[in-house]
Structure 1
């Protein structure tokens, strides 16, 4: 009887873990502190739905996007001087098969964030270097690039972190207007990726960073 109860307890614990896999400590970066967030920012209780009142991209951003070179998803590729962008976004969660091994950690080794002020996102670090902070028009949160994914490599797509599969599916895929608040660090991106070149997507991101920033070639060889 006792082994059976233990087995049922383990199943219940696993279900809770994967339905809300980011319910760890509220981790804030220095940029979050500068933006006015505090360590007392509440961590959401994660249900099966969330509210995403995303505004439609402005006519100016849509018009400007038409003349840009395109990535493989036929989305515009921007110069780093351009902070207002039309961006293809997708969503992911830590209980997906390709992320489950990493749990609630991002690619920098810290906790994925999903609070009322700051939320994690993943991208190709040669498009959006680690630490890049941005906003999505219509939403009140700051998003921080602290993760990457092999499917994002070579594109300007941003993958928005969600705390559960239900909320992830609710977001789906959306083209939104993004404003870059603060650029991240290509140097830090190169330092992290240089330790992971056995993975083809990391090697590809690193090579693209060095192509754009030849001064980081020495960092890439460490």
Structure 2
């Protein structure tokens, strides 16, 4: 009976690893909160000024506006992901920079096409208190302004779903750092294409890109 109890405990721990990803650092969201599978999203609607400014923009494949880097406040399509999804299991709780995905009460990770939002880009979503940092990417994001918001479990990921939000870029990340990382991963088609788009915008990076 003792052996069986220990086995059940071990199985529970393994299951937890596949339903909720580990995080390190200060100000972690409590395990009880994550375990509830619920999160509060008080997202404010986009302002009329932001909506009007988006009207004349070109569109991506999701019919969302494509912005110039000068446009810091914008309307974007967001999705959600977690590290226990099948296509992320091999990476565990690591992002594309090799550091730990963040999910604290102040800072959270996000993924994007790095030629749209270079690595290190920080932004806020209207109505939410967190600062999001682009430290990841995904092949499904290629060629779009969609931002994938990291969540610690599938339940919370599904709760977010797909949402159109108003966001403001607090600080742009580094095209140079993006090119440096992507140049080492050109055997992946989406990385090669992101890198090519970065070089089109920043021809001075062509040597680093080794295209």
- TM-score with structure 1 setting the length: 0.89
Where does residue 34 of structure 1 map in the other structure? Answer: none
Name which of 44, 48, 51 aligns with 1:55.
44
The separation in 2 between residues aligned to 1:41 and 1:121, in whole angstroms, is 18
- Pick which of 55-64 and 79-88 moved more: 55-64
How far is the alpha carbon of 1:3 from its aligned partner? 7.7
Aligned residue for 2:86, secondary structure, equals coil
Q: Structure 1: any 5+ residue segments left out of the alignment? A: 27-39
Deviations 1:110-153 (A, max 9, x none): 00000000000000000000000000000000000000000000
Aligned residue for 2:87, secondary structure, equals coil
Where does residue 25 of structure 1 map in the other structure? Answer: 24
What number of residue pairs does the alignment pair up? 208
Where does residue 187 of structure 2 map in the other structure? Answer: 198
The separation in 2 between residues aligned to 1:59 and 1:12, in whole angstroms, is 49
Where does residue 111 of structure 2 map in the other structure? Answer: 122
Name which of 64, 67, 81 aligns with 2:53.
64
With over 3 angstroms needed to count, the CA separation of the structure-2 counterparts of 1:42 and 1:164, relative to structure 1, is closer
Where does residue 32 of structure 1 map in the other structure? Answer: none
How far is the alpha carbon of 1:19 from its aligned partner? 2.1
Deviations 1:5-44 (A, max 9, x none): 66544422211112221x3311xxxxxxxxxxxxx43443
Name which of 155, 159, 168 aligns with 1:179.
168
Q: Structure 2: any 5+ residue segments left out of the alignment? A: none
The separation in 2 between residues aligned to 1:41 and 1:92, in whole angstroms, is 21
Where does residue 30 of structure 2 map in the other structure? Answer: 44
The separation in 1 between residues aligned to 2:7 and 2:80, in whole angstroms, is 32
Backbone CA RMSD of aligned residues: 1.6
- Do structure 1's residue 137 and structure 2's residue 126 form an aligned pair? yes
Maintained 8 Å contact 1:118/1:141: yes
1:71-150 equivalences in 2 (<5 Å): 71-150=60-139
Deviations 1:150-174 (A, max 9, x none): 0000000000000001100110100
The separation in 2 between residues aligned to 1:130 and 1:117, in whole angstroms, is 19
Maintained 8 Å contact 1:193/1:206: yes
Where does residue 15 of structure 2 map in the other structure? Answer: 15
